[in-house]
Chain A
Amino acid sequence: MSPRHSFFNRCLMAIPLLLLLPLLTFWLMHLMPGNYFDQLRLNPQISRATVEQYEKLYHLNEPVLIQYVYWLKQLARLDFGYSFAYKQPVLDILVSRLGNTVLLTGFSFAWAWILAVFLGLLAARYPRSIFNRLLDGIAYAALSMPNFFLCLILLHLAAAWGGLPLGGMRSVDYEALSASGKVLDILSHLAIPSFVLGIGIFSFLFRLMRAQAQEVYERDFVLYLRAWRIPGYKILFKHVARNAINPLITLLGMQLPALVSGAALVEIFTGWPGLGQVMLQAVRAQDLFLVMGNMVMVSALLVLGNFLSDILLVIVDPRIRSGKGGAS
């Protein structure tokens, strides 16, 4: 597919994602009987009139479609509404959480990728080494382990050991720390969630990279590079690497939804204050606008990620640039 064609496709896909998903979510939220204010109703100190006032304010008594239209209109003004549970504008909450999720996801993705590519190349070069078998075993185990279970085990171990914090993103005394202290603090909180998230990515990418590198190694041009006496490390880390990495980049876009879901899961179980964790709480509390806003934000994130990966692919493969298409 030429880059323009797939770019156009992406645009097409973005629209339903950004529109349909929120609509679907909206409808789902309204399948739940009652709403957030049911709790208030139970409180004898709050009069029914007050509750009804709230409901009227947020149009909660009107038919679903009308509510949706109101919400869309708000969205057009970039007003994501008001969170009932947190008593703040939704946008404020989301923006702060967005950064945390991006930090966690980006960090984990980065180290997992770098490690997977590097080790995958080495493992392809020395397939019979202990090092390869060991990594293979680790990758296999990581892929068979349910993420949340790993989270639990690590948290319990960390608690017993006492070395790592058990959740959240910052320690209580964060503000009092020096700049480097702050960085270290966040890193120590990132350790467990990032490890769990990253090890899954790593395992998948490592095996893929290794398989790709092995395939590239068999190709003619690698043989000729050796005939031209190009040094081995150059062959491996320049030529084989570049050729082997192509399919991984192609798959980048496909990995994104899984990455986003994985991050949410890890956030929930380690208490990392990101979009995923907020989603669970919002759903439980029936905090309508927060759920909706969250959905939109996550969808937008996915679409953006896909665009970026497409651009990356065009940059990386010169054959696509001239329209000859075809990653390996």
Chain B
Amino acid sequence: MNTLIDVKDLVLDYPKGPRFGPMSFSIAEKEAFGLVGESGAGKSTVALALMNVLKFKGGRKLKGKIERHCSAKEIAYVPQDPAAALDPLFTVGSQIRELGCSEVAILEALEKVKLPLTGMSLKSYPHELSGGMLQRLLIAMALVRRPKLLIADEPTSSLDVIHQAEIMKLFHAVRAEGISVLFITHHLPLAMDLCSRMAVLYEGKIVETGIPREIYEAPRHEFTRRLLEAVPVLEVA
């Protein structure tokens, strides 16, 4: 299988603060890769760096290599907070059309995410749609260009449990279509459910990599163990 992205010794240097990395991992075609870690561990920053939209403000520096074996347009991004992700002053429809794909492709993508948006509702504004709908819309916007890699940055963090499940079903479907997924989350079970390979991030360093089963049965790092223990198990009295 071809490698889509190869990250080698990626280091994020903040002049006043912590260092993230060095991190190394690779994502292959048609695979779902999970990046698990606490909020603030630098996961989003890594994602942005992969997309090459990281701004080097405040002396922030990037070292190491990111090798991309696909074009920039073949990487899609699903942001974390759907409400803040869209321009509030333009209709949803106009924003999805800005991506430059045909109407057919747009409708296809919308169908895939099971968004009941007809021509009329594409005229609504972001603040008129619910969080769940927005999240699905964002995924549709990511899919509409037929990407090879989909980077999902905490896609379920702002949703309630039921919506979470629905979104996860979507990601499974995406993966089934052969699109690679980089699944970033702080919720270990979700990643384990979806991904074929995972990396655990703790204090900016990768402390664990491997397939979910291995990690589950034999966690190497204290942090991983704690994450596993923190998963609530349903007990009926």
- CB within 8 Å for A317 and B89 given contacts A223-B48, A228-B99, A324-B127: yes
- Asked if B176 CB lies within 8 Å of chain A CBs, one says no
B178, CB-defined interface residue at 8 Å: no
Q: Does B29 contact A (CB under 8 A)?
A: no
Q: Does A318 contact B (CB under 8 A)?
A: yes
Interfacial chain B residues near A322, Cβ < 8 Å? 125, 127-128
| Bound form: Cα–Cα A234–B94 in Å | 13
Within 8 A of B (CB), among A209-244: 219-221, 223-230, 234, 239, 242-243
Q: Are A227 and B48 in contact (CB under 8 A)?
A: yes
Q: At the interface with chain A, which of B34-42, B73-81, B194-202, B212-220?
A: B73-81
A318 touches B141 (CB 8 A): no
Which of A224, A225, A230, A319 has a CB less than 8 Å from the CB of B88?
A319
Q: A224-B79, A239-B90, A319-B127 are in contact. Are A229 and B72 (CB under 8 A)?
A: yes
* Most A-side CB within 10 Å, residue of B77, B89, B98: B89
CB within 8 Å for A227 and B89 given contacts A319-B127, A322-B127, A322-B128:
no
Would you give the 0/1 interface string for B138-170, flagging 1 where the beta carbon is closer than 8 Å to chain A? Answer: 000100000000000000000000000000000
B51 A227 Cβ-Cβ under 8 A:
yes
- Is B62 engaged at the interface, CB distance under 8 Å to the other chain? no
Among A226, A229, A242, the residue within 8 A (CB) of B87 is A242
CA distance A133 to B82 in the complex (A): 37
Q: Are B125 and A318 in contact (CB under 8 A)?
A: yes
Tell me the nearest residue of chain A to B128, going by C-beta: A322
Tell me the number of A-to-B contacts counted with CB atoms below 8 Å: 55
In the bound complex, do residue A318 and residue B98 qualify as a contact, i.e. CB atoms below 8 Å apart? no
Report how far A88 CA is from B12 CA in the complex, Å: 79
A230 touches B98 (CB 8 A): yes
Cβ of B51: which chain A residues have Cβ within 8 Å of it?
A: 227
CB of B237 within 8 Å of the partner chain: no
Bound complex: CA of A322 vs CA of B72, how far in Å?
38
Closest to A223 in B: B53
Chain B window 58-79, contacts with chain A (Cβ cutoff 8 Å), 1 for yes, 0 for no: 0000000000000011001101
Please give me the residue from chain B that is nearest to A219 by CB atom.
B84
Given A220-B81, A223-B53, residue A243 in contact with residue B127 (CB < 8 A): no
The reply to whether A243 and B141 form a contact with Cβ atoms under 8 Å apart is no
CB distance from A312 to the nearest CB of B (A): 14
A84 to B84, CA, bound (A): 63
B contact residues around A230 at 8 Å (CB) = 98-99
Q: Is the CB of B77 within 8 A of A224?
A: yes
List of A residues within 8 angstroms of B72 by Cβ: 229
Asked if A242 and B90 make an inter-chain contact with CB atoms under 8 angstroms apart, the answer reads yes
Among A223, A225, A226, A243, point to the contact of B89 (Cβ < 8 A). A243
Shortest beta-carbon distance from B125 to chain A in Å:
5
Give min CB distance, B59 to chain A, whole Å. 15
CB distance from B236 to the nearest CB of A (A): 41
Closest partner residue, chain B, to A228 (CB atom): B99
Q: Which 6 A-B pairs have the closest CB atoms?
A: A220-B84, A227-B77, A226-B53, A318-B125, A242-B89, A239-B87
Interface residues of B (CB under 8 A from A): 48, 51, 53, 72-73, 76-77, 79, 81, 84-90, 98-99, 125, 127-128, 141
| Seed contacts A221-B88, A228-B99, A322-B125; 11 additional CB < 8 Å A-B pairs | A220-B85, A221-B85, A224-B79, A227-B51, A227-B77, A228-B141, A239-B90, A242-B90, A318-B125, A318-B127, A322-B127
Q: Which residues of A contact B (CB under 8 A)?
A: 219-221, 223-230, 234, 239, 242-243, 246, 317-319, 322, 324
List 14 A–B pairs whose Cβ atoms lie within 8 Å, in order of A's numbering: A221-B87, A221-B88, A223-B53, A224-B79, A224-B85, A227-B51, A227-B77, A228-B141, A229-B73, A230-B99, A242-B87, A318-B125, A319-B89, A319-B125
